[in-house]
A = this chain, B = another copy of it.
Amino acid sequence: MSTYIAPVKDMLFAMNELAGLQDIVTLPGNEDVSIDLVEAILDEAGKFATEVVDPLNAVGDRQGNKWKDGVVTTADGFKEAYATFCETGWNGMPASTEFGGQGLPVTVSTAVLEMWKSASISFSLCQMLTLGAVEAIAHHGSDELKATYLPNMVSGKWTGTMNLTEPQAGSDLAAIRSKAEPRGDGSYAISGTKIFITWGEHDMAENIVHLVLARLPDAPPGVKGISLFIAPKFLVNADGSLGERNDLICASIEHKMGIHGSATAVMSFGDKGGAIGYLVGEPHRGLEYMFTMMNHARLNVGLEGVGVSERSYQHALAYARDRIQGKIIGDKSGEKKPILHHPDVRRMLMDMKSRTEAGRAIAYYVAGCMDRAKSSPDADVRKANQTRLELLTPVVKGWCTENAQGITWNGVQVHGGMGFIEETGAAQYMRDARIVTIYEGTTAIQANDLIGRKTAKEGGKSMQQLLADIAETGAALRATDNPTLKGLAEALGDGIAALDEATTWLLNNYDANPQAAAAGSVPFLKLTGIVVGGWLMARSAQIAAGRVDEADGDFYKAKLVTARYFAQHVIPEANAYRDAIVNGAESVLALEEALF
């Protein structure tokens, strides 16, 4: 088994050069943040990820969680690791200082979160869900709710969940049926069944604060009749101490393909008359509140794709350096060499490495947009960054998670037969990664958001602005006298042309042929990801080209090669996606249902 080592150098590179950390630390609210502090945080977090979180991951996979009579017991070591995680302040780190967090820029907490994701998706989900709930309560809850719940959730003493999905309402939240009846004292009696509740029940924290979507008696049908409630596992007394057990229970946990370390609960509310719940914000606005938070959650799941990709790469690389097997083609030394020397093993590792770095580049770049959109003193900058953030959120979620599939698959393939043996560990990354294109909105849902709300419905303006920015980088690279950079510019130009053509087609067809547009939506998302990834890799190469002769030039040499790999192997896929979008809708839609 390999040990996870946080790729701090590449993280800092993406933060500094692509996300604009130097500017972000000067934004209002970030007075206490410095580049030195950020480096120190990443080093410490990396150490914690290596020493405490990474060793849990295989244990969680092997043992899973145990359910008995509504009680869930986590795998060996999870409880203790979680306690240390909270004690050392990592749990609340990204939260606002108002409730005990450190109020760090999103760019910084993103890098730290990637480490938890790499070390153990299962473990990291508990914090991720808790902080999502914190965000929802902080933005929309009353002062009383905030005071009652947030400090303990930020510290990690209590954890949080999101109770959205119901058996008949998966991707379609409009179909939610859970009910909330007023109890006359300002609280509500909640009843209904929720499924796929991540960390819905466990033994790591004193209390679990469930955010629940449910309908009030007078609720209009559909998405505009859903309200958001807090229903804690244990009711909270006026003095903040824990009171009675609420009428909600974990009815069972799922037997899943991966992320066995985190329990996925079926939650049953109100079996004995109604779980006591408290309305968050105004009635009927629950879905809207969830969506403000869901965008951040989507970025975090995109990051999960990056994190598990990095981990799978490190694991495969360690094996490829170690395993000696077969004669190396074209090698006349006669020496036995590790399989890293086999050209196809290199190809797989280069593919894993370059797509992971491109994914990190996009995720961190978008995190930077989020910081500027929130805190820039300049309204135009705020607006431009908000627009870019919104455009690229589905791309980070969709593209980074789709990439993680092929990357973790290659992670198994590099191991040959050993990859199929569970003890080797490579298979777990692939199984764990399988969920990331599904939860927080499948790739199709991201793609639908991208082609509709984010592109066609605003006339393609944000996409065209993005294409103009990419073209500017292309022009700058072409203007250099560095043949490598010129080559990258050429590949990027092909990508730009493909995305431009696909965007034009989309704008011409979205209203007239909505089904045709939807048929090309996932290819459109992948095409966008490739071009934006190629752009950021090209920008990275541009910076790296000037630094290869520095003392730590190795990192920059490698960056140039990964950028070239991306340009030569990944960007060529852009034309295939363009063709599928522009010419392919007809054959997606032609077959009568009965003839499948």
Cβ B444 vs Cβ A417 within 8 A: no
Q: How far, in angstroms, from A412 to B258 measured CA to CA in the complex?
A: 13
Closest beta carbon of chain B to A72's beta carbon, Å: 17
Contacts of A519 in B (CB 8 A): 343-344, 346-347
CB-CB under 8 A from A412, the residues of chain B are 257, 434
Please tell me if the beta carbons of A413 and B431 are within 8 angstroms of each other in the complex: no
Within 8 Å of chain B (Cβ to Cβ): is A584? yes
Min CB–CB distance A106 → chain B (angstroms)? 27
A409-437 to B contact mask, C-beta < 8 Å, 1/0: 10011001111111100010011001101
Question: What's the Cα separation between A584 and B487 when bound, in Å?
Answer: 12
Question: A171-B416, A329-B515 given as contacts; is B421 within 8 A of A255 (CB)?
Answer: yes
Q: Does A554 contact B (CB under 8 A)?
A: yes
Whether the pair B438, A330 counts as a contact (CB closer than 8 A) is no
Q: How far is the CB of A163 from chain B (nearest CB, A)?
A: 14
Indicate which residue in B317, B522, B568, B590 contacts A561 across the interface (CB closer than 8 Å). Answer: B590
Once the chains bind, are B256 and A343 in contact (CB under 8 Å)?
no
A255-B584 in contact (CB<8A): no
A596 to B434 CA separation, bound complex (whole angstroms): 26
Q: A567 — which chain B residues lie within 8 A by C-beta?
A: 587
Q: Report A263 CB to chain B, min CB distance, Å.
A: 13
Known A405-B409, A590-B561; judge A344-B431 contact (CB<8 A): no
Copies in the complex: 2
- Does the CB pair A413–B591 fall under 8 Å? no
**In the assembled complex, which residues on chain B have CB atoms less than 8 Å from the CB atom of A557?**
592, 595
Shortest A492–chain B CB gap in Å is 14
Q: Count contacts on A: residues with CB < 8 A to the other chain.
A: 95
Q: Which of A153-174 contact B (CB under 8 A)?
A: 165, 170-172, 174
Interface residues of A in 555-594 (CB under 8 A from B): 557-558, 561-562, 564-565, 567-569, 572-573, 575-576, 579-580, 583-594
Q: Which of B350, B421, B447 contacts A254 (CB 8 A)?
A: B421
CB-CB nearest in chain B for A567: B587
Q: Is the CB of A347 within 8 A of B588?
A: yes
One digit per residue, 1 when the CB lies within 8 angstroms of any chain B CB and 0 when it does not, for chain A 428-461 equals 0011001101110011100110000000000000
Within the assembled complex, what's the spacing in Å between the Cα atoms of A24 and B167? 53
With beta carbons under 8 angstroms apart, the residue of B175, B256, B417, B587 that contacts A438 is B417
Task: Provide the residues of chain B in CB contact with A345, threshold 8 Å.
Answer: 444
Decide yes or no whether A508 CB sits under 8 A from chain B: no
Asked whether A374 is an interface residue with its Cβ less than 8 Å from the other chain, the reply is: no
Chain A positions 537-569 with a Cβ under 8 Å from a chain B Cβ: 554, 557-558, 561-562, 564-565, 567-569
Please indicate the chain B residues that have their CB under 8 angstroms from the CB of A587 in the complex.
350, 561, 564-565, 567-569
A347 lies within 8 A of B522 (CB): yes
Contact between B430 and A413 (Cβ–Cβ < 8 Å)?
A: no
A340 contacts B596, CB within 8 Å? yes
B350/A591 in contact, CB under 8 A: yes
B564 and A420 contact, CB distance less than 8 A: no
CB < 8 Å: which of B165, B257, B420 contacts A435?
A: B420
Q: Scoring A residues 178 to 203 as 1 if CB is less than 8 Å from chain B, else 0, what string do you get?
A: 00000000000000000110000000
Contact: A171 with B588, CB < 8 Å? no
User: A250 at the A/B interface (Cβ < 8 Å)?
Assistant: no
> What residues on B are CB-neighbors of A517 within 8 Å?
329
Whether the pair A584, B558 counts as a contact (CB closer than 8 A) is: no
Q: A170 contacts which chain B residues (CB < 8 A)?
A: 325, 416-418
25 A-B residue pairs with CB within 8 Å: A171-B325, A172-B325, A254-B421, A255-B421, A255-B423, A257-B420, A329-B514, A330-B513, A340-B596, A341-B593, A343-B589, A344-B447, A346-B519, A346-B591, A347-B522, A347-B588, A413-B437, A416-B438, A416-B442, A558-B596, A565-B584, A567-B587, A568-B580, A568-B584, A568-B586
A positions within 8 Å CB-CB of B: 165, 170-172, 174-175, 195-196, 254-258, 317, 321, 325-327, 329-330, 340-347, 349-350, 353, 405, 409, 412-413, 416-423, 427, 430-431, 434-435, 437-439, 442-444, 447-448, 513-519, 521-522, 554, 557-558, 561-562, 564-565, 567-569, 572-573, 575-576, 579-580, 583-596
